Structure formats: structure tokens, C-alpha cells
Chain A
Amino acid sequence: MATERTDLLQGTLDVLILKTLAPAAMHGWGIAQRIQQLSQDVLAVNQGSLYPALHRLEEKGWIAAEWGSSENNRRARFYSLTRAGRRQLAEETESWERFAAAVGRVLAAT
């Protein structure tokens, strides 16, 4: 499947988006803010790649979009996690942890 071959950066953004959406539905701007906030400003999300990623995830059926009213009472597109998205998130979280642990072990060995 194509997802198995996606490059690390894109794959990373995807899993961050999924994670961000896990507790509640959110619009694009909110997602960007939230990632930046949670990573304590380490990860700045490039908007130029955020929206294509959202559309890709929606097309894959991992997230669903709906028009709703934003915190400042404006029409905004809200994204939420689907069941398949939740499964995907669990999967990717696990594989990320495995990956991070492995890298950590390698780096700690020296």
C-alpha cells in the first residue's frame, strides 16, 4: 500500500494530525496551533503542507470533514477522526514508539 512507502516527514505530519484530532474535532488553523503548542513551539507546521495533508487523509477515509461554526462564530471546516483513523493512529503510534525506542537504543549504545 502507498502509505507504507510515504516519506518520514509526510508520515510524521499525518500522525500528528491524527493525534491532534483524537480528543475532538478541529479546524485547520486550530490543528496547526495545537501542534505548535503541544510541541512547545518545536514543530512549526507549514500551512502549505497542512491542507494537502488534510485532504489526503480525508480521501483515505481516516478523517471526515464537516462545516461548522468556529470559536469566533465563523463558518469553518472541522475535521474529526473516523474509526479507521483511530485504528491508523493506534498503529502509527505503536510503530513510531518502536522506531523511536530503536533509534534511542542505537544512540545510547555509544
Chain B
Amino acid sequence: MLKRIVSTMKSPFEGKRMESDLDEELRFHVERETEENVRRGMRPEEARTRALQRFGGIEKTKEECRDAGRAVWLESFLQDLRYAARSLRKNPGYAAAAVLTLALGIGANTAIFSVVYGVLLQSLPYGGGERLVRLRVDAPGAGIADGRFSPPDVADLRGSGDAFDAVSEYHSMWFVLLGRPEPERVQTGVVSANFFDLLGVRPILGRTFRTGEDQHGAEAVLVLSNSYWLRSFGGDPSVVGRVFRMNDRPHTVIGVLPPIPGYPEDNDVYMPVSACPFRSDPEVEHNRDAGMLRAFARLKPGGTLRGAQAQLNTLVARLEHDYPGSYPASIHTAVTPVPLRDELTAQARPTFLLLSGMVGLVLLLACASVANLSLARLVRREKELALRSALGASRRRLARQLLTESLLVALTGGVLGLVLAVGCRQLLVMFAARLTPRASEIAIEGPVLLFTLGVSLLVGLALGLVPALSSRRSLVTALQEGRDTSAPGGPARVKLRGLLVVAQVAISFVLLAGAGLMLRTLWKLAQIDLGFKTERVLTSRVDLNFSRYPEDAQKRDFQTKLLDKLSSEPGIVSAALAGNFPLSDRGPANGRFRIEGRPGAAPENLPVADFQRASSDYFKTIGVPILHGRGLSNVDREDAPKVAVISESLARHFWPGEDPVGRRIGLDGQHPTDEITWLAVVGVVGDVRQYGLLKPPTEQVYLSMLQYPGLSTTCFVRTSSEPRALERAVRAAVHTIGPEQPVDRFRTLEEIHEGALASPRLTATLLVLFAGLALAITATGIAGVIGFSVGARRREFGIRMALGALPRAVRAMVLFQGMRLVAVGLAIGLAGAFLLSRLWSGLLYDVAPTDPMTYGAVALGLGAVAAAACFLPARRATSVDPMVALRNG
């Protein structure tokens, strides 16, 4: 049977060389035989014929020779495999522990590698590839970090030189799309006609924008994002050609995009700039101060970032010279090209690299632990191996058997690990999505599978080599010297096991330190005073459709009616509207202001604050304390004197030691000739973390929504019970007042807060998981090694105690022996953690990467666990009856 299988198999290991060797060997035989026959007196032809006759079928012999070689090879391989499986089955405890440990190690590595590959390594999903850049503008002198370009800026960027072969602009707005069963608020990317050509994105249906479609007078067209197309149209290809109304104009769908990252924003639809009513407004189009756009560019083939930077510097210098009003030299405007790859992955990189490092350590630890297990097992098998060796099994063959066994363990672990990784994929994608738009590209396929296979093989080889190396001497000598199984198994092996324990402790320390630092960070983040109360507040977006509410009076009317309706709703304690929600991921709405009575400065040197519109009950609704004066109120109407409420930090900054209430601040108009609007400061409120948890509170000016109504609004309701239950009431209220007015993005303030903490929380959870795993593996490892050496030294302990050694002293001796290893491991781990501290410094908040408290706690905790792991076997050492030990030892 086996023979049949083998002979049908063309073994790849046997190439042409072996075949010709065989030919030559047999030919030699026949010729030698012929020669011999001739010597005996035959004629040459007869001699040859006789020789061939005597030989029998040459082809048959050749076939049998090949089979013999292959059969032995395959047979011995199958034999090794069967033997390995049998010996593992006979020792299910070891097999389960080893496979499971490796499965966790390999699984964790596969999972993290799938993220690293999908997000950091794999090429960008854009045809433009590595030549794509985003142009970033900063003006540190004006407090602008990553600001926006105005339409004339983009035109200047286009004409700035030949470093780029294409430049495109982008901004995103919410518009209402009509023509579907319900009015839909769609996030709309507004782009130049060449945007998709620049990126190198081809539509899966229809086409993208054509040259000229972003010019005035062009028909309004739409390209749908893949996810919106699937979500809202169920992937119906007939959507191309359909017409929807947006901004009171018909818009024709011309194409559908492939699945690409939701970057720069997760837009539902894209339109050319000419279709955006704001962007194509002549007022905006020629206004150098209307910063609302992002710019993307593609380097010309062979172009460098350095060349592009030089060109941009020249442009900025020219603009500063030509338009000193818009680009005063004092604000140090700078435009930099940022590779798109960095844009997409910069935020995720440190976290993913840290996690890769950590899972690498976990795998190392898992290997050390399994190596330790198999060394312990090897000692017990020494007699068996020695016997087999004496029976004629070659050293190579024995080593191969051990290798087969460890490969079997590692590959089984790898398969199990793969299953684990596949099971965790969804969770990982969710986690990664908080850090990068490329999360959807994470998949466990191709290169990731190869990685897992490679890691498994490597682990199997490494583990197979450990016993092979350490058994160099003891294997043969074992039988000769007649050692019994309780002997320590050679000093080299004890030393090796000790080293493995040291490594385990060191690795665990690093992992625990990382987890500890991350936990401290999480704790500190959760402790941040937000400046508002998150309990029982439901928020939603109510962005007014500008074509329905063009006039301030109409907006005011809608907003007042909505607030009245909401306030009368049962279950709602108070309701408010504001421009934005706290902890928003948007940038601040910075503006300049004057302070009455202070010497006038040039417009560009005026103080800066973030301006936020809010309705009268805003502070009460989200729980911002009024520190001084009063909050906004319904008396601050359009015909009343204009008022402002300022934040505490703004008050301290500009009125240190003074009372700002009663002072006035002035806002310049659009044009230098416009009159200054003066607002009376009526109150000071507490600071709020308006733009993200980590950004310090912004210096803020709150304006009355009645005096400054806006289109984009967030609705807040504080409820008396579960806030989510009020979702329907809010929806109904909005639809009663504006039937075509969408309201969406319902979230509670608690959810917003949780969302801001989610990514560090998940990182911390993963690290704690890894560290916990490491601790458990290490503790078992220590207990195993110490327990083993105690078992081997039972006789010695018996003699010691028979001679009068106190059990306490014997216990202390064992404990000391173990703790010496632990101490060395801790020292190495501490050094390692210091060296690696740079790796995680970027992820910490308000905790030093070498925080002595964390390190100390980790060292103490790990030491305590290790001591416990040593203590258990130490007790066993003294529980032995000296007489029994002596007699049986």
C-alpha cells in the first residue's frame, strides 16, 4: 500500500543528479561483470550478454532502488510523526499545556501582525501610491495648527511650480439629500474634478468627475462612496443616472467608488466644488481669509519631498510679500507636504508597534515556557532515548524525532492560534478603526497566513533544537552510567532551565511594566476634569438645511420653537443648542477679538479665542458651572445689546487679577472698514475640554445663539431618567417643527466620553491580558523548575535534616535558590523596560515611561508571585521524611 503511494509520488527531493548516479552505478556493475567474464575466457559480446542476464531487469532494479530510498525517507517521516503523536498522546498534560501556550503566543502574534500588515505594511489602496501628499498649513504665531486653505490659496498652490503634477482641494459638509423615502443628511466630500484621478481611484460603476465639472455652470453630479451605496441602495447598480435634489438643485449620480478608506472623512457622497453653494459663492471664492479647504497633491514622477518643500517655501514667501494682511510674517505661515501614508497611519503606528513588540515578547515567553516543559519531560525520557540510541537509532534520527515532535506541537499551536486570531478579527478592526482609516483593510489572508506558518515553523525548530543541543552528552552516557530518572539530568540542563526562568521573569517584568504604565495612563485619563457633567445628557446633530433657512430670522425661529417644544417634553429637564459638542474631534473655531480700552494692535496680533454659539440653558444642561456674573439668557436677543460669556482660562489670561464682567470685547467685521461690534462680558464659566480629552481647555468666548444663529447645531437634552429613551421624543420634536429637517448622530455625553477613552482602554486591556498571561506562564515555570530540582535533591535534603538541619533552613535554601534566579530576571527586566521605555512614551499621559512607582509595584508584585511559586515546592522539600528519603532515594 505504502509502496504504491510512494511509487506514484514523484519526490521533489530526488532530482536528476540522483537518477544519473544510479545509472552510473548500475552501469559500472554490468561493465565490471563483463570484464570479469572476459577474464574467464568469454568473448566480449557473450560476456556482456551473460552479465546483463545475470543482473536481471535493470529498470526494475532502478525502480526498486528509488523506492527503497523514498520509502525509508517517507516511512521514517511518517514513523516520526506517528511516534510524536503517540508520545504526545501518552502525555496529554504536557501536550495540552505546550499546544495551548504556543496557540496563545502565535495567535496573539498573528492577530497583531494582521493589523500591522493591513495598516502599516501593505501598499496604499490608491493608484497614486507613495507620491501622494497632503499639504498641511500651520501658523504657530496665530495658534493655527493644521489649518485650512482658502480658495485663492489652492489656486496659488496649483500655480506654484512643477514639483507636483496635480493638486486637488477637499472639504466636507453635511447636506440634505431629497428624493429618498426620508430626507437624508449626507456627509459630502466637496472636491476638485481631478481628486480621484490624483488619488488613483477608479470607480466600480459609472465614472468619476471630468475636467471642467468643477467649473461654474457645470451640471451638478454626485459620486457615491462604496459604503453609502451598499447601505442606502443595497448595492443596486441602477443608481447611476438617478437624480436627487440637494441644495435646491438636481444632482445626477454618475458613479460609485470602490471600498477605500474613509479618508479624509468617511463621506457618503462626493460632489465637485461648483455644486457646493458655500464654496462657489463669489464672496468665498476670492476671499483669502476663507480658510475651509484641505489640499492634496501628487509629486511628479521622481519628485522629492524636499523639492516640494522648497517650492512651497517660495510660494509662502511670495504670499507674505503680496498679501501682508492675510499672511502677516509674524504668524510664521508654513506649508508642508505630508506623505499620505503617514497621514493614514501616523496615529496608529506607535500603538501598533508597541503591541507588536509586546506580542513578540509574549511569544518569546511562551517558547521559553514550552522549552522548559519539554526539558523537564526530556529528563524523564532520557532512559527511553538512551535505550533507543543503544538499539541503533542514530543521533540524527533521534534529534529528528524530537524535532518532528516539537514541529507537530508548534504547528498544532499555530493552527489553534490562527483560529483565535480569526475569532478576534472583528474586535481588532473596531480597535484599529479608532486609530486609522485603513482598519477595514485588515484581513487574515495571504501574507498573514504565511507569517503564521513561518512563525510556527520557527518556533517548532527552535524548540526542537533545545533538547537536541542539551542532550549532546547525557544521551549516551545515561545508560552507561545507569542514572535513574530522579537525577538532575546533567548540570548543563539545570543551568539552561535556570536561564529560561530568568528570561521568563525578565520578559514578564517588561510586559507588566507596560501594562502598568498603560493602566496608570487610563486612570489619569479617566480622572481628567472635563468641566461638564456627562450623566443623563443626550446629544444629537440638527444641521439646518441652508436653502430652507437662509435668513437669520428663520434659523432663530426654528431654534426657539425647537427649544420650547423640547422643554415642554416630559422627561426632559432642560434643553439647549450649541454649535458643537464637547470633546469634539473638530478643530477650534478660532477668531480674533479686541479688548476695549487696551491699546489697539495690528489685526494679526489681536488675541485669539475659540468662539462657540450657545443657547440660554446650555451651561445648565451640560453642567458647566457659572463662576461669576451670569450665563446666557433669553433676554440676549438680537435687538438687545450683544453679550459674551467667557471661560475661566480666557478670563485669567487677559484679565489677570481683574474682574472681566462688565468689560467689553470687540469683533472686527469682514472688511477692515467695517465697524467693530462690541460685546459686553456678562459672565465667566468653568473651563471645558471642548476639543478632545488630551487638549487642554480652550480659551473660549460663548456667544448668544439668538444674536448669532448658525446652521450647524448640536442639540443637548438633560433627562430625568435613561437619556437614550428620549431619542424618539427629540426626533419627533424636530420633525414637527421642520418636516424635512434631519436629526441624527444620537449619542449621550457619557458615550462621547467613553469614546474618547476607548482606544487607550483597549490598548490597556490588551496589555493587561498579555501581562497576565505572562505572569501565569512564568509562575508555573518557576514552580516547575524549583519543584523539579527539589524532587531531584530529596536525598540530599533527607541527609541534611537527618544531620540536624532545621526544616526552616532547608526551605530557606530552596527559596533562596529560586529567588536568586528571580532577582536576576527582575534586574534584567528592569534594564529592558528602561531601554524600551521610549517605545511606549508616546502612548502615555501624565505618567513618565520610567515611572518609579509603576516599576516598583511591578517588581514587588512579580517578586511576590515568584516567591509564592518557589514556596510551594520548598514546602515539599521539608515534608519528606528523612528516613524514607534516604531509603528510597
Tell whether, in the assembled complex, residue B61 and residue A55 are in contact, meaning their CB atoms are under 8 Å apart: no
Task: Contact check, B392 vs A87: say whether CB atoms are below 8 A apart.
Answer: yes
Q: Is the interface of B mostly helix, strand, loop or mixed?
A: helix
The reply to whether the CB of A75 lies closer than 8 angstroms to some CB of chain B is yes
B contact residues, range: 35 or more
Min Cβ gap A83→B in Å is 8
B69 touches A56 (CB 8 A): yes
Are A27 and B28 also in contact (CB < 8 A) when A48-B55, A55-B69, A60-B72 are? yes
Interface pair A55/B75, CB less than 8 Å apart: no
Asked if residues A77 and B61 are in contact (CB atoms below 8 Å), the reply is no
B74 CB, min distance to chain A CBs, angstroms = 10
Residue on A nearest B35 in the bound complex, by CB: A72
- How far is A1 from B25 in the complex, measured between Cα atoms in Å? 30
Interface string of A1-20 (1 = CB under 8 A from B): 11100000000000000000
Kindly identify which residue among B32, B67, B79, B391 contacts A91, using a CB–CB cutoff of 8 Å.
Answer: B391
Chain A residues, CB < 8 A from B54: 47
Does B45 have its Cβ within 8 Å of any Cβ on chain A?
Answer: no
Q: Which residue in chain A gives the minimum CB-CB distance to B75?
A: A2
B392 A48 Cβ-Cβ under 8 A: no
With known contacts A2-B79, A48-B55, A48-B56, A70–B68 Cβ distance under 8 A: no
- A99 adjacent to chain B (CB < 8 Å): no
Q: In the complex, are the beta carbons of A70 and B28 less than 8 A apart? A: yes
**CB atoms of B56 and A47 under 8 A apart:** yes
Q: Is B24 in contact with A72, judged by CB distance below 8 angstroms?
A: no
* Chain A residues with CB under 8 A of B31: 74
Contact B392 A91 (CB under 8 A): yes
Q: Tell me whether B75 and A72 are in contact (CB under 8 A).
A: no
Q: Number of A residues whose C-beta is below 8 Å from B? A: 32
Task: Report the minimum CB–CB distance from A34 to chain B (whole Å).
Answer: 13
The distance from the CB of B80 to the nearest CB of chain A, in whole angstroms, is 11
Contact status of A77 and B32, CB under 8 A, knowing A47-B56, A48-B56, A56-B69: no
B32:A72 contact, CB within 8 angstroms: yes
Complex Cα spacing A3 to B388, Å: 13
Q: Which residues of chain A in 60-99 are interfacial with respect to chain B, using CB atoms and an 8 Å cutoff?
A: 60-61, 70, 72, 74-77, 82-84, 87-88, 91
State the CA gap A58–B390 with chains docked (Å): 19
- Residue of B at shortest CB range from A67? B21
Q: Is B65 an interface residue (CB 8 A)?
A: yes
- B-side contacts of A77, CB under 8 Å: 21, 24-25, 28
B32 touching A51 by the CB < 8 A rule?
A: no
In whole angstroms, how far apart are the Cα atoms of A61 and B57 in the complex? 27
In the complex, the answer to whether B65 meets A59 with C-beta atoms within 8 Å is no
User: In the complex, are the beta carbons of B26 and A51 less than 8 A apart?
Assistant: yes
Q: Is the CB of B69 within 8 A of A46?
A: no
Q: Is the CB of A55 within 8 A of B28?
A: no
Q: In the complex, which of the residues B25, B71, B73, B76 contacts A51, with contact meaning CB atoms closer than 8 Å?
A: B25
Q: How far is the CA of A83 from the CA of B31 in the complex (A)?
A: 31
Query: Is B16's CB within 8 Å of the partner chain A?
Result: no
A53 in the interface, Cβ–Cβ < 8 Å?
yes
Q: B72 contacts which chain A residues (CB < 8 A)?
A: 56, 59-60
For window 509-545 of B, CB contacts with A under 8 Å fall at none
The answer, yes or no, to whether B29 is at the interface (CB within 8 Å) is: yes
Q: Which of B35, B65, B76 contacts A55 (CB 8 A)?
A: B65
Q: Which of B24, B56, B69 contacts A75 (CB 8 A)?
A: B24
Question: A52 on the interface (CB 8 Å rule)?
Answer: yes
A66→B397 CA distance, assembly (Å): 21
Let me know if B60 and A48 touch, CB within 8 A.
yes
B32 shortest CB reach to chain A, Å: 4
**Interface pair A51/B64, CB less than 8 Å apart:** yes
Nearest opposing residue in chain B for A77, CB measure: B25
A48 to B58, CA, bound (A): 8
Interface pair B55/A47, CB less than 8 Å apart: yes
A84: chain B residues at CB < 8 Å are 392-394
Instruction: List, sorted by A's number, 17 A–B pairs whose CB atoms are closer than 8 Å.
Output: A1-B391, A2-B75, A27-B28, A28-B28, A29-B33, A46-B56, A48-B55, A48-B57, A55-B66, A59-B73, A74-B28, A74-B31, A74-B32, A77-B25, A83-B394, A84-B393, A87-B392
A-B complex: 9 closest residue pairs judged by Cβ atoms: A59-B72, A52-B64, A56-B68, A84-B394, A52-B68, A55-B68, A48-B56, A29-B32, A55-B65
Q: A27-B29, A59-B72, A76-B25 are in contact. List 15 more A-B contacts (CB 8 A).
A: A2-B75, A2-B79, A47-B55, A48-B61, A51-B29, A52-B64, A53-B68, A54-B65, A55-B65, A55-B69, A56-B68, A70-B32, A74-B32, A82-B394, A88-B392
